[in-house]
Amino acid sequence: MEAAESEAIPREVISGEAISREDSEYVASFKPLVEFLGVALGESTEVVLHDVSDLDHSVIAIANSHVTQRTVGSPATDLMLRVLRAGEGTTADYLTGYEAITPGRARTLRSSTFFIRRRGRIIGMLCLNSDQTVLRQLDETVKKIAALYFPNPERRKEAPAEKPEILASSVADMKTAAMESVLSRYHVSVDHLTQAERLEVVRSLDEDGFFQLRGAVTDLALAMNLSEPTVYRYLRQARA
C-alpha cells in the first residue's frame, strides 16, 4: 500500500528501528555542549545538534547559526540521510575534515560529525561546520602570487573531490538541492529521460536517504513530471 503523499517513509520502515523518547532525551542532554563549543571554537564555526527522530526538523540546538543561516527546526543534511540509510553498516564513531556547502555554494565549509549512539544505534549527531571562505580566498591569492615567481610546468593532479555535504536551512531547500544534485548528471530535460534513467534517479536518491524526508515522493513526482504511483513503482523496483 502506498504511503500518504504528505508523509515521509518512516525510518523504521527503512532501518527497522524507532527512536524512543528516552533516546531523544539523551540527545538533548548534549545541548550545553553546543553552547560551550560555539564559544570555545569562535564565531566562524557553527555547532549543530541533531535528533534523528524527526529528520524534517532534526536541529534541536545550534550555536553561531549565522554561518549557514539555519535555525532550530532546520532539517537533516544529505550526509545524515546517507548515514542513516546505511543503518548498521555505519560503524565509524565520527567523520572529520569533509567539505560542506550551503545551497548555491554561497559558502564552503570544513565539517566534522560525531555520531551519538545508544545501544549501538545512531540517535543523534553533533556537527561542527567551520567557514573556510576567507581562508580559501587567501589560499587562491597566495597561489596566484606564487605562480608569478615560482612557475611549475607540471601541475599536481588533484584527487577527485568527494560529494560535499549540503547544509540547507529548510526541508524544502534540502529536497530541492538533493534532486538537483542527481538530475544534473543527465544533460537532458526530465521529459527526455529514459525509463532506465528515471529508475536510476530514484535509486540514487533512495541510496542518499532522500525518501526519509516528508513529502519526498510528492516533490520528486512534480520535479520529474511523473505521477506519485509511478515514483513508488520505481522505488519498489530500485529496492527489489
The pLDDT value recorded for residue 213 is 93
Encode pLDDT of 69-109 as tens digits. 999 999 999 999 999 988 755 788 999 999 998 877 678 89
| Sheet order of strands, 108-118 included | 59-63, 45-51, 121-131, 108-118, 94-101, 165-166
The answer to whether residue 13 scores a pLDDT higher than 80 is no
Residue range 177-192: average pLDDT? Answer: 91
Encode pLDDT of 190-240 as tens digits. 999 999 999 999 999 999 999 999 999 999 999 999 999 999 999 999 998
> Cβ neighbours of residue 198 under 8 Å, at least 6 residues apart?
224, 226, 234
The pLDDT value recorded for residue 52 is 95
- Fold designation for 21-134: Beta-Lactamase (3.30.450)
Average pLDDT in the chain: 86
Encode pLDDT of 57-68 as tens digits. 999 999 999 999
pTM attached to this predicted model: 0.74
The pLDDT value recorded for residue 102 is 84
Nearest to 33 by CA among 66, 5, 60, 68: 60
Question: Where do the structural domains in the chain lie, given as residue ranges?
Answer: 21-134, 171-239
